[in-house]
């Protein structure tokens, strides 16, 4: 990243009143949570017993092989000790300073809320929340889900409990998508970071932005780089950290 790039992003966020951040797994790699598509990401592993990671993260796997599903889920998606990094804390500070109105995330780790962000639209849900498949849809937190039995069972109705995440083969929640689209439409600055922009419909959110301050920060190139007004190929935690150091001295 260059000084000019950081200066530009700093001045955009300094003037912003309704900035929105849209991010993905790259936001949490500095917190020790692997992403999906990097060399060190989850997709580089082979899944379990010859099964692909996509299958292990699918509705089909949850329904047909729940024990395999939950073993994979606990080993790869639940990171109870992970702490927010400078990206999460910087974005929370931008919201407190009334420069940023919302975080839209594809992440399921809950680290934006842990850092203090209040308005977080979780397109793919959260591993912090669970509900049972019984008629009552009884709800649980991660802490309430015991390690044993492997497949958690609702103490109220005996139905299987599942994570409140959007699995492959499932639809996104309409209300969450609507809220995210509205936030992006009204944004004066759209900062996109730590996402390969390969997963639709989430990646299509960029098309709703109407302004001319679209900043894209990712370690590697993305299919949307050509649309951005500013492209920085650097760690998002370092970029947001440097910008916040300048804004909040
Ligand atoms: P992805 O497809 O794995 O892409 C991540 C992108 O981030 C890659 O292009 C990397 O180059 C880039 N990257 C990695 N580290 C950094 C960094 N420090 N700074 C900047 N860029 C970085 O992940 P997407 O979010 O694009 O795909 C969406 C999936 C990933 C969603 O369904 C998520 O639920 C899922 N996911 C979430 C988490 C999490 O909650 N932390 C972890 C792994 C996967």
Decide: helix, strand or coil at residue 153: strand
| CA 188 to the chain's CA centroid | 21
Task: Supply the residue whose CA is at minimum distance from atom 18 of ligand 1.
Answer: 235
Residue 198, CA atoms < 13 Å, CB-side half-sphere: 12
Q: Beta-strand (E) ranges in 138-182?
A: 139-141, 161-165
On whether both 235 and 146 belong to a single domain, the answer is no
On whether both 219 and 238 belong to a single domain, the answer is yes
Instruction: Give the residue numbers spanning the domain of 105.
Output: 3-32+84-124+169-247
On whether both 60 and 183 belong to a single domain, the answer is no
Rounded distance between C-alpha atoms, residue 230 and residue 5, angstroms: 7
On whether both 112 and 48 belong to a single domain, the answer is no
Rounded distance between C-alpha atoms, residue 211 and residue 197, angstroms: 19
Is 121 assigned a catalytic role?
A: no
On whether both 136 and 188 belong to a single domain, the answer is no
Task: Supply the residue whose CA is at minimum distance from atom 22 of ligand 1.
Answer: 26
Report pLDDT for 41. 77
Report pLDDT for 45. 64
154 Cα–ligand 1 center, Å: 32
8 Cα–ligand 1 center, Å: 25
Total domains in the fold of the chain: 2
| CA 211 to the chain's CA centroid | 23
On whether both 174 and 111 belong to a single domain, the answer is yes
Report pLDDT for 76. 92
Report pLDDT for 49. 67
Task: Supply the residue whose CA is at minimum distance from atom 9 of ligand 1.
Answer: 196
Q: Given the residues 88, 121, 124, 138, select the one marked as catalytic.
A: 124
8 Å CB contact between 37 and 43: yes
Report pLDDT for 237. 98
Going by C-alpha positions, the residue among 91, 98, 127, 93 that lies closest to residue 110 is 127
**Which residues form ligand 1's pocket by a CB distance below 6 Å?**
24-26, 28-30, 33, 35-38, 41, 106-109, 124, 193-196, 198-199, 218-220, 235-237
DSSP for 29-78, written as a single string: GGGT---SSSTTSGGGS--STT--HHHHTBHHHHHH-HHHHHHHHHHHT-
Low-confidence ranges of the chain (pLDDT < 50): none
User: Is residue 37 in some structural domain?
Assistant: no
Task: Supply the residue whose CA is at minimum distance from atom 40 of ligand 1.
Answer: 107
Query: What is the β-pairing status of strands 139-141 and 125-132?
Result: antiparallel
On whether both 103 and 155 belong to a single domain, the answer is no
């Amino acid at each position: 990243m260059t000084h000019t790039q950081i200066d530009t992003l700093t001045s955009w966020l300094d003037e912003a009143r309704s900035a929105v951040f849209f991010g993905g797994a790259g936001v949490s790699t500095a917190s020790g949570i692997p992403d999906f598509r990097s060399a060190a990401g989850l997709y580089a592993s082979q899944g379990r017993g010859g099964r692909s990671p996509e299958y292990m993260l699918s509705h089909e796997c949850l329904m047909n092989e729940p024990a395999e599903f939950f073993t994979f889920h606990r080993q790869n998606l639940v990171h109870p000790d992970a702490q927010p990094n400078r990206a999460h804390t910087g974005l929370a500070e931008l919201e407190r300073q009334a420069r940023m109105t919302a975080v839209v995330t594809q992440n399921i780790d809950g680290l934006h809320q842990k850092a203090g962000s209040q308005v977080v639209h979780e397109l793919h849900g959260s591993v912090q929340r669970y509900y049972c498949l019984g008629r009552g849809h009884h709800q649980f937190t991660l802490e309430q889900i015991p390690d044993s039995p492997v497949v958690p069972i609702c103490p109220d109705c005996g139905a299987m409990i599942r994570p409140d995440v959007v699995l492959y083969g499932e639809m996104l929640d309409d209300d969450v998508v609507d809220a995210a689209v509205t936030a992006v439409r009204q944004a004066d600055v759209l900062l996109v970071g730590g996402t390969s922009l390969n997963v639709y419909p989430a990646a299509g959110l960029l098309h709703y932005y109407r302004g001319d301050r679209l900043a894209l920060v990712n370690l590697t190139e993305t299919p949307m780089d050509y649309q951005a007004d500013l492209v920085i190929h650097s760690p998002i935690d370092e970029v947001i950290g440097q910008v916040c150091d300048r804004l909040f001295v």
